Structure 1
């Protein structure tokens, strides 16, 4: 009997996109359902009654929510093309940087994007300190785990996708060649992988969407 795999996501969400990448790297066939988050479907509310957010993976009728939890589920369910190293220490290290990305890097860059003046300057300083730690991790490596894309790359892939959008909107460079040569090289390398490249949301549409989001935040 064929497996049923569905992914509830939105076209612009980096959290949904990282699951798209994971499924594609694993070679898992799935149905993609784009949600309108201003008018959530009954299916989304039913499958994720706690947070009512995307992404949600539905596997043979069972739903799994939260992208980092979905990552673990995918890795445990489909063992081929592993996203995590086998060595326990390297596995723990990858998980650490995944969590650091979501807990520290993303909030600091988002804060720099939606603020202005002194608040924005402080947020950029914090973002740069966080990015320096990623830069150190990437020195001498193609990807976070070495020569092959892994979980940390997928979790941090939004940097390659969204930072150029944010930089264009605020008219300021956050990740530059001088401070972050390894991080920039990784962003380019990651973006050129066929499975990643074919899933990129259109840059122009992202500019329009995130400009509107920024305007809304600043208006508050």
Structure 2
């Protein structure tokens, strides 16, 4: 029943979209509850009193917070559908390792290029971001997706890259991603975005550009 599962999120948050994609890959019915983060609902604050953030998955009245935790919960709760994590303990551990790398290293390094002030500072911040992309590229050797032949846990965690990188490039007028340098990641991004469960649930690009243009202007004019 759809009313058993609710997802508190925003229209553009990559963390919330991970859960959206996972739900559709697994064929789970759910209800979207869109939050305005400038005026968070009492329900969100009640369900996530620790971090007061989205996404929050509410299943049979019980809240689960943090996107990586939610993805694992979904995988364990709806076991009869497409698995997100590998069954092999070592492969499962590696998937968790790379997912954490994406959130702790790769995403912050790419975000720092976006938030740095001035062209030279952005170019300098790009160096560690490219190094992190090189490490991720290595993990795709011989595979269509990080999960093998189908989209899995790491693919969902890295999914933001497939639709946000070129938005960032347009907004800051700096090349972040060289398809020739990263042919495996380039192919992965196309395969990921072409998958029906993903393609039908990507945020509108024009709205993303508008959102990040405003954000970028704010970062450039705010004093440290």
Task: Give TM-score scaled by structure 2 length.
Answer: 0.95
1:136 aligns with 2:135: no
How far does the alpha carbon of each residue in 1:175-203 deviate from its partner, in whole angstroms, 9 at most, with x for none? 11221111011000000001100000000
164, 181, 184: which one aligns with 2:183: 181
State the partner residue of 2:115.
114
State the partner residue of 1:90.
91
- C-alpha contact 2:172 2:216 (8 A) present in aligned 1: no
Mapped to 2, the partners of 1:63 and 1:87 lie a distance apart of 28
Deviation at 1:3, TM superposition (A): 6.5
Mapped to 2, the partners of 1:69 and 1:181 lie a distance apart of 31
Mapped to 1, the partners of 2:219 and 2:47 lie a distance apart of 29
Q: Which residues of structure 2 form unaligned runs of 5+?
A: none
195, 204, 207: which one aligns with 1:205: 207
Query: What is the DSSP-based 3-state SS (H/G/I as helix, E as strand, rest coil) of the residue aligned with 2:139?
Result: helix
- C-alpha contact 2:5 2:30 (8 A) present in aligned 1: yes
State the partner residue of 1:23.
23
Deviation at 1:206, TM superposition (A): 0.2
How many pairs does the alignment contain? 220
Deviation at 1:168, TM superposition (A): 1.0
State the partner residue of 2:158.
156
C-alpha change, 1:204 and 1:2, in structure 2 (3 Å) is closer
Q: Which residues of structure 1 form unaligned runs of 5+?
A: none
- C-alpha contact 2:10 2:16 (8 A) present in aligned 1: yes
Mapped to 2, the partners of 1:111 and 1:2 lie a distance apart of 38
1:165 aligns with 2:167: yes
Mapped to 2, the partners of 1:25 and 1:199 lie a distance apart of 11
Task: Give TM-score scaled by structure 1 length.
Answer: 0.97
Mapped to 2, the partners of 1:134 and 1:192 lie a distance apart of 20
RMSD over aligned CA atoms reads: 1.2
